[in-house]
Amino acid sequence: MFENNFKRYFFHENLVVHLNNVLKMGRIVQGMFYKFKDAYFDKNKQLSEEIISQDDRLDYLEAKLELEGISLLTRGNYTGIYLKSNILGIKLINIFENMGDICEENAKLNLDLLTMPQKINMQSFEDIFIQANEMLSLSLRLLSDYINIDMQRLQSEKFRKDIFDTGKKICILDTEVNSLFSAYKKYLFKSKETSKAMYTHLEILSNLEKFCDFTTNITENIIWSLTGIKYKCRGQELEYFYSMEDDL
């Protein structure tokens, strides 16, 4: 009995450590995003190159943490919230890696931009960066709260309400990002920018929109891990999407 309890405790503790390492991966992505924001607005070649080199570290972490997560999944004999938390970690590793790839791609595009004459005021695009930053900060805070919560609070209605309220806020921000991107497209097409520069800016902004979509995926997966029900950001709301009970 003692051996079984120790084994259960050992694997549960290792799951918490693993999820905190996944969170650290998210923080690295956040750092890459901050660097890109500065590289873009300050036309900084060095920062762009740092982001590109940093992506190798993220790829290494993806491989390491993915193997770690699969090992826990096969050896931990998890059920309930622990099983969903383990699967959540594996999903988030993939999401963070994709977000890092977007930062790397945008850094490369920024290097291309630095070789072109530019006429537009890039500060006009600042709002989409502000929204993206808030979305990512909220989702990482949500993940941190989820990892470090005790079981009693995890099951409380207030905690679940707070999770959903944050999720809805992220959905609203994502809708605003989509609107901003549409407005920026019109602005760029009317600008006197060269075609090549215009489409490079457009690709960067489009990538930011995708970056924000991945942020909503973080939130959706945390809510799934908490409730066992899949919700999707639809406009400004979190809408019920799917539950395994639907097949029973």
Model pLDDT for residues 64-73, shown as the tens digit of each residue: 999 999 999 9
Segments forming the whole domain that contains residue 82: 2-247
The more confidently predicted of residues 154 and 59 is 59
| CATH code of the domain containing 132 | 1.20.58.220
As a whole number, mean pLDDT of residues 59-81 equals 92
As a whole number, mean pLDDT of residues 119-130 equals 91
- 162-182 pLDDT tens trace: 889 999 999 999 999 999 999
Q: Which residues pair with 231 in a beta bridge?
A: 240
As a whole number of angstroms, the distance between CA 220 and CA 26 comes to 16
Lowest average pLDDT, out of 87-96, 217-226, 237-246, goes to: 237-246
Q: Are 219 and 153 in contact (CB under 8 A)?
A: no
**Number of structural domains found in the chain:** 1
pTM, to two decimals: 0.92
As a whole number of angstroms, the distance between CA 50 and CA 56 comes to 11
Question: Is the pLDDT score of 43 beyond 80?
Answer: yes
Give the other-Cβ count within 10 Å of 159's Cβ: 16
The more confidently predicted of residues 98 and 9 is 98
Classified as helix, coil or strand, 149 is coil
